Amino acid sequence: MYTVAGHSGGGSLKNMINNNINKLIILLIFMIMISCGGNQRGSDQVVDNTVIKKVDVPEFNRDSAFLFVEKQVDFGPRVPNTKAHTECAKYLGKTLERYTPYVTFQDFRARAFDGTLLNGKNIIASFKPEKKSRILLCAHWDSRPFADYDPDPKNHYKPIDGANDGASGVGVLLEIARILKTHKPRVGVDILFFDAEDYGPHKDDQQQNEADYWGLGSQYWSKNPHVYNYKARFVILLDMVGVSNPQFLMEGFSMHYAPDKVKKVWDIAGEIGYGAYFKYEEGGYITDDHYYINKYKKLPAIDIIHLDPGSSNKSFFPYWHTLRDNMKSIDKEALGIVGQTVLTVVFWE
């Protein structure tokens, strides 16, 4: 029972009212914080009764990625055994060394479909190499020696710039490497640039069983990884990711070997606003670098690759394996979509 007694009783009532008001204000502030926090990209997520802490994700700079693509193309076609190829390899290595001291060059020799002995070089950059829990991000850095799908037959034996087919994925990963120098995810990250991916048979020479003449660098690495008994939680390959208004369908081998990883990436893309580009539709089976990682290294690897079932160029972008695969075919927004999605996957892991 509360008793009011003279002057002092009035003071106690005043204090009680003030205390209640203060408590009410604190409660309102707490409720507002909860409401606002629920819409933040870094909010927690509950999966199978386990709280997964979503950390803030750095912003991907699409303009910087575009410049990284442009710099590669400036060397000219990056075909193995050429000067442009050698000079671009130096550039890629020096650029990565600005962002991490852990850069490995894996030299190899591989026999091409026509008997040519190719001098290849895979380039690997590691971040937080002490971490056992790792994610591998990769792309191929060489370019096609033949414009064998060019509309003009006179160009069919000319090398291409490979701005989208090769350089776009590398440009995105170079920008991610730049970001990882100052922003540290919870997992270790390896960035791998495969060589001699696109030195497959000319269209006029292709046979039924010619698939393994592609992806020579990834085949070599999968059988001879740069670290003994190398392990990664999963692998993301980027290929042809710079085309305007991209369509990233669920590629066949990715769904066969690692359907849960595909769903993880596509779900995250949708959550951050890119669901219109990462479509829950099945794409064709593409024999790309991820295929050999799954086959030989037994790591769950998926391919983020533009696929258009309506295209006349084997579901690829219109300028695939033509001389028009140059900087005019690169869209900054597409680079940003892919880069921000991959960054979010890495930092939320």
Query: pLDDT tens-digit profile of 206-239?
Result: 765 667 999 999 999 999 999 999 999 999 999 9
The pLDDT value given to residue 209: 60
Is residue 302 within 8 A of residue 234, CB to CB? The reply is yes
* Residues 85, 94: Cα–Cα separation, whole Å: 14
Checking if the pLDDT of 6 tops 90, the result is: no
Nearest partner of 193 among 328, 91, 295, 61, judged by Cα: 91
Whether 152 and 205 have beta carbons less than 8 Å apart is answered as no
User: For residue 36, is pLDDT > 80?
Assistant: no
- Name the burial class of residue 223, with classes exposed (0-12), middle (13-18) and buried (19+) by CB atoms within 10 angstroms of its CB: exposed
pTM of the model as a whole: 0.85
What is the share, in percent, of the chain residues with pLDDT greater than 90?
79
Which residues on neighbouring strands pair with residue 190, listed in sequence order? 126, 136
The whole-number pLDDT of residue 2 equals 26
> Which amino acid would we find at residue 202?
H
Cα–Cα distance, 286 to 169 (Å, whole number):
16
51-348: CATH topology is Aminopeptidase (3.40.630)
Q: What is the pLDDT of residue 49?
A: 41
CA distance 123 to 139: 10
pLDDT at 125 over 70: yes
Between residues 38 and 85, which one has the greater pLDDT?
85
Neighbours of 246 (CB within 10 A): 28
Q: How far apart are CA 96 and CA 100, in angstroms?
A: 6
Q: Is 290 exposed, middle or buried (0-12, 13-18, 19+ CB in 10 A)?
A: buried
Q: What does the DSSP assignment read for 215-258? A: -HHHHHHHHS-SSTT---SEEEEEES--SSS--EEE-HHHHHH-
Amino acid at 218: S
Domain map (residue ranges) of the chain: 6-39, 51-348
For 257-275, what is each residue's pLDDT tens digit? 999 999 999 999 999 999 9
pLDDT at residue 205 in the model:
82
How high is the pLDDT of residue 107? Answer: 98
In angstroms, the first-to-last Cα distance of the chain is: 57
Distance CA 275, CA 287 (A): 25
Confidence of residue 309 (pLDDT cuts 50, 70, 90): confident
Helix or strand run (H / E) with residue 193: strand 188-194
Asked whether the beta carbons of 187 and 349 are under 8 A apart, the reply is yes
What is the torsion angle, in degrees rounded to the nearest 10, for the CA atoms of residue 65, residue 67, residue 69 and residue 75? -160
Mean pLDDT score, 104-125: 97
